[in-house]
Structure 1
Amino acid sequence: MSGDQIGNLIYLSVLGAALLTWLLVRGRLNLNKMAQHMAAWVLIFFGTIAAIGLWEDVRSTVLPRQSVFGEEGRIELPRAEDGHYYITLEVNGTPTRFVVDTGASAVVLTARDAQRAGLATGDLVFLSSAMTANGSVRTAPVTLDSLALGPIVDRRMPAYVNGGEMETSLLGMTYLDRFARVEIANDRMILQR
């Protein structure tokens, strides 16, 4: 259990004890009514705990997801809560999450994602560098066998592996330039071939 979870448990326990004390003091003359109120508060308490525990599952089914319209060559991405657009593509057949970055000139993989995609990260030669918000980082050029989302497949895709720490792989302009239209409207990014 993490420190935040312990703190939340203590807070909820103190709140529950305060409510129970209030019910006992207020309803000491009418035990039947007090039992009804206590049952209602117990249900509210456990309902709240269940809602908190299931929030991630509920959120993942309620929030919009990326949509692929293969026949039309169109991809639609919803804006995430942090304001960015994310897409999951298959890199050499391995699902990989990217943040769409129009400020990045190329596709840049984290070392972890490159390894998962079957690239020999131990053999990479970091010949180039890139300027990021955190300063200069070393990069190694690679060629991806495939970068796919459903029926939309790009083969022999040039990319880089980042030699520094990076949380999420970047989908930059070398990929976005393959689309005839890139549009942002109504909290959705639309990529059209």
Structure 2
Amino acid sequence: MSGDQIGNLIYLSVLGAALLTWLLVRGRLNLNKMAQHMAVWVLIFFGTVAAIGLWDDVRSTVLPRQSVFGEEGRIELPREQDGHYYITLDVNGAPTRFVVDTGASSMVLTRQDAQRAGLHPEDLVFLSTAMTANGSVQTAPVTLESVALGPIVDNRMPAYVNGGEMDTSLLGMTYLDRFARVEISNGRMVLQR
């Protein structure tokens, strides 16, 4: 259990104790009514805890996801809560989540994503340098055997593996240039071949 979770548990316990004390002081003359109120508060408490615990599952079920219309060569991506567009591609057969970055010139993999795709970061040569918002980082050029999204497959894709720390792989213009149309409207990004 992390420190934040322990803090939340203590806070909720104190809040529950305060509510229980208030109910006992307020309803000491009418125990039946007090038991009813207490049951309602317990249900509210457990309902709130359940809603918070299940929020990520509910949100991922309710919010729109990426859609692939293979016969039309079209991909639709919804804008996420953080304002970015994300896409999951199979890189050398491994599902890899990318943030779509029109400001990046290339496809850039994190070390972890490169390893999942069958590349061994310890065998890579980090010769090139990339300029990022956080300064320059060393990168290693690689060639990805396949990058697929459903029936849309690109072979022998040039990419880089980031030598620095990076949370999510970047999908830059070397991949986006393979589409005839890239459009953003109404909170959706449409990629059309």
TM-score (norm. length: structure 1): 0.97
Q: How does 1:77-96 map to 2 (within 5 A)?
A: 77-96=77-96
Give the equivalent residue in structure 2 for 1:115: 115
Q: How does 1:38-57 map to 2 (within 5 A)?
A: 38-57=38-57
1:144-190 C-alpha deviation (Å, 9 max, x unpaired): 00000001110110111111111111000000000011011111111
1:9 and 2:32 aligned: no
Aligned length: 193
TM-score (norm. length: structure 2): 0.97
1:25 and 2:25 aligned: yes
Give the AA of the match of 2:103.
G
Tell me the distance in 2 between the aligned counterparts of 1:32 and 1:178. 71
Tell me the distance in 1 between the aligned counterparts of 2:177 and 2:8. 47
Which runs of 5 or more residues in structure 2 are unaligned?
Answer: none
1:62 is displaced (CA, Å) by 1.0
1:45 is displaced (CA, Å) by 0.7
Tell me the distance in 2 between the aligned counterparts of 1:39 and 1:128. 64
Tell me the distance in 2 between the aligned counterparts of 1:190 and 1:107. 18
Q: How does 1:125-164 map to 2 (within 5 A)?
A: 125-164=125-164
Query: What is the alpha-carbon root mean square deviation over aligned residues?
Result: 0.9
Could you tell me the percent identity over the aligned residues?
88
1:121 is displaced (CA, Å) by 2.1
Tell me the distance in 2 between the aligned counterparts of 1:104 and 1:74. 22
Tell me the distance in 2 between the aligned counterparts of 1:62 and 1:155. 34
Matched position secondary structure for 1:71: helix
Which runs of 5 or more residues in structure 1 are unaligned?
Answer: none
1:69 and 2:69 aligned: yes
